[in-house]
Each structure stands twice: as structure tokens, then as C-alpha cells.
A and B are shown apart, each in its own frame.
Chain A
Amino acid sequence: MTESEKKSSDLASRYMLDKAKALGLETIWDHYEAMLPQCGFGELGVCCRMCLEGPCRIDPFGEGAKVGVCGATADAIVARNLDRAIAAGTASHSDHARHVALTLLAVAEGKAPDYKITDVGKLKQVASRIGIKLDKKDNLTLAKEVALAALEDFSRQDVNIPLTWVATTMTPGRIEVFSKLGIVPHNIDANVSEIMHRTSRGNDADPVNLLLGGIKCALCDYAGCHIATDLCDILFGTPKPVVSQANLGILKKDAVNIAVHGHNPLLSDIVVDVAGQLRDEAIKAGAKEGINMVGICCTGNEVLMRKGVGMATHSVSQELVVMTGALDAIVVDIQCIMPSLSSLCDCFHTKLITTMPIAKIPGATHIEFHDDKAVESAKKIIRLAIEAYKHRDPKKVDIPDVKQTAMAGFSLEAIVEALSKVDAKDPLKPLIDNIVNGNIQGIALFAGCNNVKIVQDQNYLAMVKELAKNNVLILATGCGAGAFGRHGFLTSEATEEYAGPGLKAVLTAIGQAVGLNAPLPLVLHMGSCVDNTRAADAAVAVANKLGVDISQLPVVASAPEAMAEKAIAIGTWAVAAGLPTHVGVVPPVLGGPLVTEVLTKTAKDLLGGYFIVETDPVAAAGKLLDAIRERRKGLGI
């Protein structure tokens, strides 16, 4: 096995890693190597840095310190650290959501002329769901009411009124469970703030109480994610199936290549539109093929889902795009952007352009993105990229010839639309019938990141093959969906190759019904990581139709290569929603035996969902299949 094979399963990544080595360029894998061995106290979660009497760490072997300076036990410390990770994830998703809500409000008030209500149907659907009367209101009035309702979820002070985006989107059974446990959240910001408060020195020291607080905060993450998805669909359109391409081979030698990287479609959607308008300027600069927009990470998923923009790469391999020497600009907004991009861009002509006031990187060019002047900001960014193109060194251009077809755009609405071709009156019926008759054994959602500790994409690939073979319908979001895209799993061919007979028959029937003349892809790409609520909505719809709760459904989730705090928040609300949730990286909780017990066992009694920690992907798939079988048995199917 070569060195690059030990780092990534992806051919393009391996090619670029070999090149990095030859050129002496450092990547995340080198930085990781230099970091080894990583601190065992940190790995176990027993390190506390929350007051100036620390830092404290508990000896897991029982010889040294048994409690922190203040007397906090290992379980209290682990639970506090976990809570703070959940709060950070929640803050990330919901700050993103707030930004979108404020923009929708600005659109409604005529203050953001470059944005518009693209999907009126979705606007009405969301408005009805949250209890806004449609009457004969015009679209902008309705948009304003929806935006204000979303912002209310960030500002409500009455603790007895639940978050609108939890109360109106979950099953009645879930709401009952949350109420019993006292974890119904009322205000997203207040709950993030509450976590920071209760975990600070001298407050909550009860590990179970801390975990319940963390789960309540994770439900705020769920609400934030859901708001972001709903409102982005309203502003930019609800995704429909689209065929595109994935991997570094989508970069073009004769085009100005611009990557959008990060998470916020408020930026990327506009930049992609404006790039189309400035095509001639690029050609004038010598780029025969104009401008080639590509995506990295989840903002890439956003423009893939809605505009068919190709995916260059995701997550752990983001640096490698720069090393092609063909990337003229990398335009970043928020989240998952590695600061190392800056020094790598210095080795090439690539412009790193930061755009958001809360995410600047030394060495980058900062062009602040203003919602009220979105097109103007976007033009400035694209022109900078065209200028950079003129300085491209053709000798350094090295684009690996690796790309795959990738079908995406499977919002829940798109899936229901496809199912309606099979049964127009009752679209969910064919899905439910096939789950009941066993053609589809269950549904698995793959979400989350890549993680440098795991050979890139290895866990995704091993697990999906196992599950698909056993007739499990696969949904994916975020960098997980990106991983499947790179390896050709978002295609009909993958269904032919890997799906078990029942699953293949169902995907083929739907594919035929929608006129695809081939099966639906093996993995249905549902969107960015903030779009995980699309999958939750699917589970809620099925549960409500069957008159059961999500915690009874043969539906599971997995983040096999999780990296970000956001993934911890999502995983926690997936557990709260009642899903057996697999994590393929050991999270920093094992130092707290009670916390570990609660997350992996007690949670099952309290919530129905629970965490499964398993680093071996084949064993993990086996555990998820067991969970699916157990639930089928419970339902008597």
C-alpha cells in the first residue's frame, strides 16, 4: 500500500497527495502526522479548561486526580465538554439560519433587491405548516410573516412556548417524549447561551442533567437546520433531480475555475449566477471556456442541488483542489474552511477570498459580502478571479483526469414527486408498501464529514455496500454525499452493481416511472449538512402516515467519518428524534463511564434513539442492520 493509499480511497486525492509529496507541500495529513500522538486526556474528554484554576484532567487509571480542582467528576467534565460541542454546532447551524431569515425579511421589505422569492409553493407550504393563515396575502407579506416566525424562534422569552420549528415538524409522539423529559426548547439563542452558562465553573455538575440540557440544545440545532433549509428553498428554490459531475477532473484547463467553499448559499447562489453574466470578461481574459464554477463542501452541495454545479471535492481534501494549479479563486464563507488554504494558495496563483465578517483568514483577500448589494459583491469577487487567471502558470496546471457522474437534488419534495408517478393519489404508499413487504428493509441516512484519522471515504464505501446489499435505502447529505459522488455512487450504475434485489426492484420501478429509463441512484443526495432535516422530514412523514413514532421505524443514521462539532449536534438530535445513530470516530466521551452508558444504552429507553460507536465499518453496518431488524420485529413486519 502506498502512502497516499493509506490516506485516501479517492483516486484524485491520491494523485494530488503524491504530487504534494513530490513538491514538498504540506497538507492536513502532514499536520496530523506531526500532531501524533494526540493527548489521551483530550481523547477521553476528561480535560477541563473552563476556569482559571485549571486546566484539570482526570486520571482514567485511577491513580492521580480523581476530580477536578473544583471537585467536578470525570463524568461531569465529559458531559460539559460534550454540551459545549453541541452548543458550538447549534450556534453554527442556527447563525446560518438567522442570516437566511434576516435576508428573507429584507427581501420581504424590499431591502435585498438581488434576492427574490423563488419557490412560492414552498413559501405557502412552510407558512401553512407553522400556522400562518394564507388568506389572500401576497407573497412578500407571507414571506415577512414566515421570516418573523423564524426569528421568533431566536427571541421568544416564554419558556412554555416551544420552538415553532420543533413543534410543527416533529411527530406528536416525539413532542410527548421531549415534554416528559423537560427538553422542549423555546429559543435557539437562549439555549446556546444556557449551555455556556450551565457548563461554566460552579454550575451544573450532574452528568445526566447536563446531557439532557445538551439534547435540548441539539433540538435547537435541529430547528436551526430546518429553518435554514426551508428558507433557502423559498429563496433559491426547492431542489429537483439534477445530473452533474464530481471530483477534481471537473476543473477545466481553458476556463477561469472558481470554487465556492463553505456553507452559505446566500453567497454561493449569487456568485454562480453572476459568473454566468461575466462569462465574456473571462473569455476576453483568455479563458476560451469562460467561467467554470465548482463546489467544495456544503455550499458546493447547495449549488449542486439547485443549479447542477459540479463538486470538486469535500472536507479533508479541500487543499488538494488548490494543488491542481488550475484553481483561480476559492471563495469561502463560513464553516469547515481550513486556514492552511492560505499558505497553499501562496504557492500558486490562486486567490483565497474570504467574504464573511466572522471568518477571516490571514493572507486571504477579504471582500465583504453584503446582502443588500449581493450582485455587486459577487461581481467584485468574480473579477478578482478573472484577474488571478491571468497570472496562472500553465506549467503548474495538473488536473487529474478523475470524475464521476453524480445525480443529486433529491429533496423530500423531489422524492415525493417521483413517488407520485407511481401512485399519484398516495405518493408515500409505494415506499411504505415496499418497507412493509421487505423489498426495502429500512432506510439509512449517511451524514457528516471526512476525518483525517480515517482513510478518506473508506467507511462510507464499506458501509454503503453492506447496507445496500441488504436492501437498505440510502440517503446522504453533506460531505458524506460528496464522498458517494466521488466514487460514482450517485448513479443508476451503482444501483445495478450494489443494490440487493428488493432495493434494486424498487429503485428501478421508480426510475422507470419518472422516465429515467434506469434505476434511481443507489444513494439519494438530499443536500448539504444543514439539510439533514430533509431526511428527518421523510421519517416524520412515514411515521405519521403509519401512525407510529420515528423511534419505531427501521430508520438509522450514520456519521462514519465525523469531524465537526456540527456533526455532534446533528448526531445528538438524530438520537433525540429516535434514530439508532452510528459514529465511526470515537467521540471524546469514554472518560466518563456514566456519560458513555447514557449515550449508548440509557438513551434507548428514554428516547428510542441511541449512539452506536464502532470504528470498523463492516461491523458498524452489521450493527445498523441489527437495529433495523429489531425495529421491523417491533412493528411486526
Chain B
Amino acid sequence: MKDVFIELEKCQGCKSCELACAVEHSKAKTLFAAISETPLPRKRVFVEYVDGKRFPIQCRHCEEAPCVAICVSGALSRDESRALVTHSKERCIGCGMCVMVCPFGVITREMGSKVITKCDRCKDRDEPACVESCPVGALVFTDMEELEKTRRRGVIKNVLIGGFKAS
């Protein structure tokens, strides 16, 4: 099952993922048209910056999702078949409880409405828009197993072949 992972050292803070996310969730799905839509589409990925570190983050689609647990209207639920936390706009009452319990702060609101919105992992696409837009590969869409394997092989490359370089 694929997830969006973040290569922590790679993000340059260009916010291309934020733009691509908003465009993907617009009516027109093109940048030039999306910027004049009413309401404006909202991004669901956020590039944050603290002490020289940049970090793009969106809904982690948690297994034991606090937002799902606290949702009183049943708008937030788990789609186990796709391992996603999904949101029904129709059911949402805009209470904001999920916003309060999300440990990552990645739940936002529709423009001009209390109804929440969050990453839907781009339901119409194979690869999420944010991942596709990243010019440096800071966002990757892959299996956790694949990611781990790449990491393990990286260790072999660095330590056993390339020689460990202390920084």
C-alpha cells in the first residue's frame, strides 16, 4: 500500500506542491484558470519552515486516526481497502473537533465555509499532484517496504562501499 513520504533533506521550500494541490482541487484543474475561480481552491499540503528546516506535510492517513475517532457526524472515516482517511463534505457539520485533535495540523477549511477539507490523496490520479509537482523528489509516493529497502541499500552504499563520511 503506497503512502506519500517526505525526503526530509530534499525540500527546497519552493511550494510547488502547494500550488499543484490547489490546482488539482480546483474546478478547471489548470493553474491559469484556477486562480480566478470562486471560491478559490484550497491546498491540502503545507510547506512549513522552522529553524532552517523545510517540511512539506499533508494528512498522514493514520490507522488509528484521532480525527475519525472524534468526528461526531461520521464525515471522517477510514477506507480500509485503500488505507485512507476519507471525508464526506455532505456529512461534515463544520464543528472543527478534528482540527483540534489532528497532531499534524493538516486539516483545513473550505474557503468561506466551516466545512473542513484535507488531503484525499488525489482520488482521480495514480500519483498525487504534490508528488508529481516536486522538482527535487522531496515527496515520494511509494510502499513503506520499498522506502525501507531503499534506505537499507543506501546504508550499504554509504557505509560498506562508499565509506562512512562523518559530517
Contact = CB atoms under 8 A, between A and B. Distances in A.
Interface of A: 37, 39-41, 43-44, 57, 59-64, 586, 590-591, 593
A332 to B, nearest CB: 30
Given A37-B133, A41-B14, A61-B43, 17 more contacts: A39-B14, A39-B16, A40-B19, A40-B23, A41-B15, A43-B31, A44-B32, A59-B15, A60-B19, A60-B31, A61-B19, A61-B22, A61-B34, A61-B40, A64-B15, A64-B18, A590-B32
A62 B40 contact: yes
B128 interface: no
Nearest to B134: A37
Chief secondary structure at chain A's binding surface: loop
Nearest to A40: B19
B103 interface: no
A40 B20 contact: yes
A61 B43 CA distance: 8
Given A40-B16, A41-B15, A41-B19, A61 B35 contact: yes
From A37, A62, A593, residue with most partner B Cβ within 10 Å: A37
A354 to B, nearest CB: 31
Contacts of A59: 15, 18
Contacts, number: 47
Given A39-B135, A44-B31, A590-B32, A61 B41 contact: yes
Interface in B8-32: 14-16, 18-20, 22-23, 31-32
B61 interface: no
A590 B35 contact: yes
A37 B135 CA distance: 7
A37 B35 contact: no
Which residue, A59, A60, A61, A591, has most C-beta atoms of chain B within 10 A? A61
B35 A60 contact: yes
B32 A37 contact: no
18 contacts: A37-B16, A37-B132, A40-B16, A40-B23, A40-B31, A41-B14, A43-B32, A44-B32, A60-B35, A61-B19, A61-B40, A61-B41, A61-B42, A61-B43, A62-B40, A64-B15, A64-B18, A591-B35
A43 B31 CA distance: 9
B15 A44 contact: no
Interface centre among B14, B15, B23, B35 (most CB of A within 10 A): B35
Interface pairs A-B: 9 shortest CB-CB: A40-B19, A60-B35, A61-B22, A61-B40, A40-B31, A37-B133, A590-B32, A62-B40, A586-B32
A591 B35 CA distance: 8
A586 B35 CA distance: 14
Contacts of A41: 14-16, 19
A59 B41 CA distance: 12
A464 B77 CA distance: 56
A591 B34 CA distance: 11
A276 B35 CA distance: 58
B20 A37 contact: yes
B94 to A, nearest CB: 18
Residue from A43, A57, A64, A591 having most chain B Cβ neighbours under 10 A: A64
Contacts of A63: 42-43
Nearest to B25: A61
Contact of A57 (B15, B34, B133, B135): B15
Contacts of B19: 40-41, 60-61
A63 B41 CA distance: 10
A586 B33 CA distance: 12
Contacts of A40: 16, 19-20, 23, 31, 133
Contacts of A593: 36
A515 B154 CA distance: 76
A137 B40 CA distance: 69
B81 to A, nearest CB: 30
